[in-house]
Amino acid sequence: MKTVVIFSLLFSFFLIQPRNLGAQAVQKDLKHTKVYYEKGMFGGWPANFGIWNWGNEILVGFAKGNYKDLGPERHNIDREKPELHLLARSLDGGETWKVEDPCKTGKGSLMVPNHGSYHGIERSDVKPEKLVVCKGINFKNPNLAFTLRMTNVDGGESRFWYSYNRGHSWKRPSKLPDFNKVGTAARTDYIVDGKKECTLFLTAPKSDGKEGRVICVKTTDGGKHWNFVSWIGPEPAEGYAIMPASARLSPNEVLVTIRRNTHISAYFSDDNCRSWSRRINPVEDTGEGNPPAMIRLKDGRICLVYGSRKKPFSICAKISNDKGLSWSNVYTLRNDGSGRDMGYPRIVQRPDGKIVVVYYFQDEKTGPERYIGCTIWTPQGV
């Protein structure tokens, strides 16, 4: 009789469990906040800029423009009005945010080569900055923020800026070499290896001049000179390999994830970026291209975050505890998106272990405007 009762209880337990446990991991303490939202405006693409943190102080870049309905397949930003490149700062670990315009606050400004606009007209209230020769950056400065941007996605001129006061003011930009690759399409992804040493992961054009293929370059003199180190992976026969996200795992080990047309690929180096071996794809289907954000957690695991541009439109995460050899099931941080124009995340970890993910998003509750969202999250095991 006892055996029958126990079997009956076990059968009932498994019968009522959700059927998708194999596809979803457990997420704890999810909290969503808004970094930037303004009715009638468009906020977008944190991955194109950068994120930096000093304890619970977090700084992230994003674009702001006027909202205009251009249909479900396009970025709904008004091309006939200016696009501003802004910063948002949190002093409480992502709970609240304040937007800053670096062109109007502090000394110097944070701009891109074509007057600060990729999707709209040039700003009329600021002048483009003249290039300067880099005299040397202290990459170990505790208040450093460092960022890079490109002229266009198919390669061209890329520039870098830096700040020693947590992004309140920025040094005038310097030009990044093109490394004999016709140019680069730089976004911010770097690893600091010493006071004068920094490794960058960039996108360069393919041999046909189109985007793109990922390269690794390095400076050992504080940014005065940059040297080509390696290609990461073969040139794609079709489509692109762009927008890398890197994490240093040890003095000689680096893991890089890369945006592809419909998935995210990964490469591993055990000789400090001189050569690379293919890892399994962390994400097999993003719906369409969406860049990864990645960080090595304090406990040594790797956390990867990405936008899923297929229904249900979601912000997702995965964890690896074996240097990218395998990945956890999907952590769905939110799946209430109302369209494909979303994602492009950035990620940091707070002193208390919580993960702060910043991205752009659209949902029915907020309205048609794209906004910069933030999810604060505790992954299982933290």
pLDDT classification of 379: cutoffs 50, 70, 90:
confident
Query: Does the pLDDT value for residue 211 go beyond 50?
Result: yes
Higher-pLDDT residue of 348 and 85 is 348
Q: Give per-residue pLDDT as tens, 222-241.
A: 999 999 999 999 999 999 99
Tokens 């047309």, located at residue:
261
In which band, very low, low, confident or very high, does the pLDDT at 19 lie, cut at 50, 70 and 90? very low
Task: Indicate whether 382 pLDDT > 60.
Answer: no
Section 260-264 average pLDDT: 97
**Domains of the chain with bracketed CATH:** 105-115+129-379 (2.120.10.10)
The Cα–Cα gap between 319 and 264 comes to: 14
- Measured CA to CA in angstroms, residue 107 lies from 23, 101, 103, 114, 164 at distances of 49, 12, 8, 20, 12
The rounded mean pLDDT for the chain is 89
**Beta bridge partner(s), residue 205:** 211
Question: Is the distance from CB of 301 to CB of 294 less than 8 angstroms?
Answer: no
Q: Which of 50-64, 140-154, 322-336, 359-373 has the lowest mean pLDDT?
A: 140-154
CA 236, CA 224: separation in Å to the nearest integer? Answer: 31
Instruction: Pick the more confident residue, 239 or 20.
Output: 239
- pLDDT bucket at 15, cuts 50 / 70 / 90: very low
Share of the chain above pLDDT 70, in %: 88
Measured torsion, CA atoms of residues 101, 104, 105, 109, in degrees rounded to the nearest 10: 80
C-alpha 230/C-alpha 381 separation (Å) is 35
64 phi and psi, to 5 degrees?
Answer: -130, 135
The pair of three-digit structure tokens given for residue 298, joined into one six-digit string: 């304090």
Cα–Cα dist 242/214, whole Å: 6
Structure letter (DSSP) for residue 21: T
Instruction: Supply the pTM of this predicted model.
Output: 0.91
Whole-number Å distance between alpha carbons of 124 and 121? 9
3-state secondary structure of 48: helix
